[in-house]
Amino acid sequence: MRKFVLLVIAVIGLLAGSLVSEGVTPLSATATCSPKAYVTNQDRGAVSVIDVATGLVSNTIAVGSSPTGAATTPDGTKAYVTNEGDGTVSVIDVATGLVSSTIAVGDYPYGVAVTPDGTKAYVTNEGAGTVSVINVATGAVSSTIPVGSSAYGVAITPDGTEAYVANWYNNAVSVIDVATGLVSSTIPVGNSPIGVAITPDGTKAYVANINGSTVSVINVATGEVSTIPVGSSPRGVAFTPDGTKAYVTNAGA
């Protein structure tokens, strides 16, 4: 397994936007809470909750070993945190700030994304080359989908029909048909893809290739790929809410 220090933020609040990347999870909204940022602390086994209005840490929540990915449900009631060190997902009850359940998934879970309808959470298992699909209502793993070797980032199209998974060792992205639970296509991209994000309009998938210093842009309709040179060791991608700009983190720059 390749170990990384990864900062992941999930924000919940009435006026939240919708950034998506390997390092910034989808933002969701509730009418009863002020905006909060959930930050995974990989070396501490905890999630820091930051009050966005004040910029202060309002709570620290113990989760599993080496937490990496985080995502919230669209209604803002739950946060899902992948624990790479112990093969589990911690489910945080946003209202209470407590872990309500712990779900066993595959080896070295890394990325997580929740479907727009809030019914499923997709978790990539880097060590197993699989995706665990969690039924949000029951808290159980409903299926396990084989994808490529070393599955890292995952993103779901805004219409909820497809999940895009970055497979590090295959230099490819697996596209999962959400309705069937099967891989519908495999798209070659750059060297060592790790982060993936979908544009707000659902037309393109941006893939950060950490060992290629590039971002691959996939046309969702056709599967065609173009390439954008970026900085050294790109890891995550995030879009502005209007989709006009993409921000890429470069770990080696």
User: Which DSSP string corresponds to 143-156?
Assistant: EEEE-SSSEEEEEE
pLDDT score recorded for residue 180: 97
Distance CA 141, CA 127 (A): 17
Q: Rounded to whole angstroms, what are the CA distances from 164 to 2, 60, 62, 238, 252?
A: 21, 31, 29, 15, 25
pTM beyond cutoff 0.85: yes
User: pLDDT tens-digit profile of 153-194?
Assistant: 999 999 999 999 999 999 999 999 999 999 999 999 999 999
User: pLDDT tens-digit profile of 60-90?
Assistant: 999 999 999 999 999 999 999 999 999 999 9
Distance CA 130, CA 123 (A): 8
